[in-house]
Structure 1
């Protein structure tokens, strides 16, 4: 299996698409590459317009306009009382809004909610496609996800605004995602992966989302014949004089609920409880230098 690094040092991720609910990789070795890297590119459906999501990224932090019902703005001040996540000012260059899927229609513009629901379905198909590749039995999948197909697992969107005027900070601090899968839409390059001991910028594939595989997959499959990597990634510091000053991104995240246990397969294929997901997430947050969500 060969991972492609081009002459400029950019990493080329395997590409895939979802057809009739099935995850299909474009190259024969694409699935194995995706598990080893913990990342791949997923084709954006031809009829899916991501522009409402990017517009929201570029405006959610702006003050609300008095006398209007513009849901694109005013989210920095809004407490999002029904959310356990909400707005966060991170220690890197990103300020972000995180909202659980059952709250999208309550807080977000209608067209943004419609986009996220489509992306949620795409992410779910990709998640179960990776389960297929990794050899996870169908009868265990709802247990380890907390009921992703029944919409009782954890799913939320993360909306990112990069503040390039904050200097001497990473764009997004180097980390792996905690859940199973994250689907990422961005309007600028900048995503980097730690690959074979070196940070490699990822070559953007036009018309594709980037998909990260996370810690819940790594823990679950570590002792199996086809373990899944939790991709270690970052966005380096953005400069205010560059085009990336306006970088925006938003995601669909799926993982276990915080009141659940992470699971792990033993070498003999039996499934066991590993650690509470909230405890796992709190420990990880401390290592990354930021506080875990106070409402959870």
Structure 2
């Protein structure tokens, strides 16, 4: 099988996939296997998806609002009362805005909402494509996701501004994502994966998103013949670069709801409840040194 570790193992090139007619396609079965082992892969950006509005919003959401109707700015102070997530000033370099999919139209500019909805469709097709690759029965998929097809599971965007002027902090702390899948759009390198005991920068692939598989997949498939890895990743401390903007990224996250259970297949292939997702998430936040979202 062809390895994807290149440049004398100083960088990692992820396997690439694309969604075609609603189906996730890898170049080969070996690429699909590699994606499951790494817990990450690149996903081609469709021709009908323009990410410009999303990246522009990353560079504006934290700045002061110009008036009460300004949805491009002012999100540090807004409060987002209908969201259980909202704005967070993290202890690393990132400040971020997290909003559930049913609130995008209420709080975000129209062009940003349109971009996120198209990315949600792409992420959903990708999620079910990974289910296909692992061999998850179709009749189990809505149960374990909490109803992802009908947007009843947990789906939100995370909008990130990396504040390079804050020194002696990680860009974003090393972690795995808690849900099933995260699709990431970013404007600069910096993403690293813990691979075979070493942190390796991931080589950027033009015209592609990065897809992370998370803890919900790891728990669900751990005892199956073809399990998925929850990729452990980070962004190291970023330094100010005169004339260059701060790093920006935004994502689509999909996972179980906090009021439901994580599920796991046993060694006989029977699906069983594993642990409440909120309990799992609170324990994980504590291990990472974060307070869990107070509204959840």
Query: What is the match of residue 250 of structure 1?
Result: 250
CA contact (8 A) 1:93 1:237 kept: yes
Unaligned stretches of 5+ residues in structure 2: none
Query: What is the match of residue 173 of structure 2?
Result: 173
Shift of 1:245: 5.5
The normalised TM-score by structure 2 is 0.98
Distance (whole Å) between structure 2 residues aligned to residue 94 and residue 142 of structure 1:
33
Aligned residue for 1:29, secondary structure, equals helix
Query: What is the match of residue 231 of structure 2?
Result: 231
Distance (whole Å) between structure 1 residues aligned to residue 72 and residue 195 of structure 2:
37
Distance (whole Å) between structure 2 residues aligned to residue 31 and residue 5 of structure 1:
15
CA contact (8 A) 1:238 1:245 kept: no
Task: Say whether 1:10 aligns with 2:5.
Answer: no
The normalised TM-score by structure 1 is 0.98
Task: Say whether 1:285 aligns with 2:285.
Answer: yes
Query: What is the match of residue 48 of structure 1?
Result: 49
1:100-136: CA deviations, max 9, x gaps?
0000000000000000000000000000000000110
Distance (whole Å) between structure 1 residues aligned to residue 6 and residue 243 of structure 2:
23
Task: Say whether 1:102 aligns with 2:102.
Answer: yes
CA contact (8 A) 2:92 2:170 kept: yes
Distance (whole Å) between structure 1 residues aligned to residue 81 and residue 155 of structure 2:
18
Query: What is the match of residue 115 of structure 2?
Result: 115
Query: What is the match of residue 27 of structure 1?
Result: 28
Query: What is the match of residue 59 of structure 1?
Result: 60
Shift of 1:230: 0.1
Shift of 1:6: 1.6
Do the aligned partners of residues 275 and 62 (structure 1) sit closer, same or farther apart at CA in structure 2, a change above 3 Å counting?
same
Query: What is the match of residue 161 of structure 1?
Result: 161
Q: Would you identify which runs of 4 or more consecutive aligned residues in structure 1 move more than 4 Å?
A: 242-245
Distance (whole Å) between structure 2 residues aligned to residue 26 and residue 203 of structure 1:
18
For the aligned residue pairs, the C-alpha RMSD in angstroms reads 1.1
1:11-45: CA deviations, max 9, x gaps?
01000000110000123411101100000000000
Distance (whole Å) between structure 2 residues aligned to residue 21 and residue 276 of structure 1:
31
1:53-80: CA deviations, max 9, x gaps?
00000000000013x6221100000000
Which one is further off, 156-165 or 7-16?
A: 7-16
Distance (whole Å) between structure 1 residues aligned to residue 242 and residue 180 of structure 2:
33
Aligned residue for 1:292, secondary structure, equals coil
Unaligned stretches of 5+ residues in structure 1: none
Task: Say whether 1:74 aligns with 2:65.
Answer: no
Task: Say whether 1:39 aligns with 2:25.
Answer: no
Shift of 1:3: 2.9
